[in-house]
Amino acid sequence: MDKLLNAADAALRTLFAKPVAAEASPARGVAQQALSVPDRALSGALMRVNHVGEVCAQALYTAQASVTSDPVLRRELLEAAREETDHLAWTQERLDALGARPSLLNPLWYAGAFAIGFVAAKVSDRVSLGFVVETERQVASHLQGHLGRLPADDHASRAVVSRMQADEERHANHALAAGAVPLPAPARLAMRAAAKVMTTTAHYL
């Protein structure tokens, strides 16, 4: 029951409360030039997609932490979720600065990610960690793509995305070192397909 209540609390905080970062955003203090209307719209859309990714990260780590019986792994998952809260707050700050809004479908994204993380964790801790590795690697690749698409003058968003990419790669490496098993190719392909649907939709909605 405690785990269920904690999971519900995490969902409500992620979806409806203003996230509070433990560490200041990498965008703080970055000189920012005025953006044209099209560039501002593009940055807003890309940061909305990144914000959705952080909503999903909260769901995934919360689900996995609620299932595992390993107290050490649970602490590590919750610590990763705490770092992802920083990302959530940073992307929200950029959305606000750009005059953009979060995805209207965030509750749907959260529910889907929670379900996937729950099922992966039910299989085994090693599979759960393998899911972390593949997820974080795909996110890091996705963020690298955004660095190539963000307007050159949006230095603040670039600073945030660069830091997030480094953190996601570190999360993947930690999960690998903790005993993650590689996911089968069909699972990896299905994850990429689901991510494509999510990112394409969130760009607009």
99 Ramachandran zone, left/alpha/beta (phi>0; psi -120 to 50): left
Ligand-binding site membership of 84 (annotated): yes
Ligand-binding site membership of 136 (annotated): yes
Residue 55 and residue 107: Cα distance in Å, rounded?
9
Ligand-binding site membership of 174 (annotated): no
Ligand-binding site membership of 76 (annotated): no
148 contacts: CB under 8 Å, gap ≥ 6: none
Ligand-binding site membership of 171 (annotated): yes
114 contacts: CB under 8 Å, gap ≥ 6: 7, 11, 59, 60, 62, 63
CA distances from 133 to 104, 167, 183 (A): 28, 12, 9
168 contacts: CB under 8 Å, gap ≥ 6: 136, 137, 139, 140, 143
Ligand-binding site membership of 93 (annotated): no
DSSP 8-state symbol, 28:
T
Which residues line the annotated binding site?
54, 84, 87, 136, 168, 171
Which residues line the annotated binding site for Fe cation?
54, 84, 87, 136, 168, 171
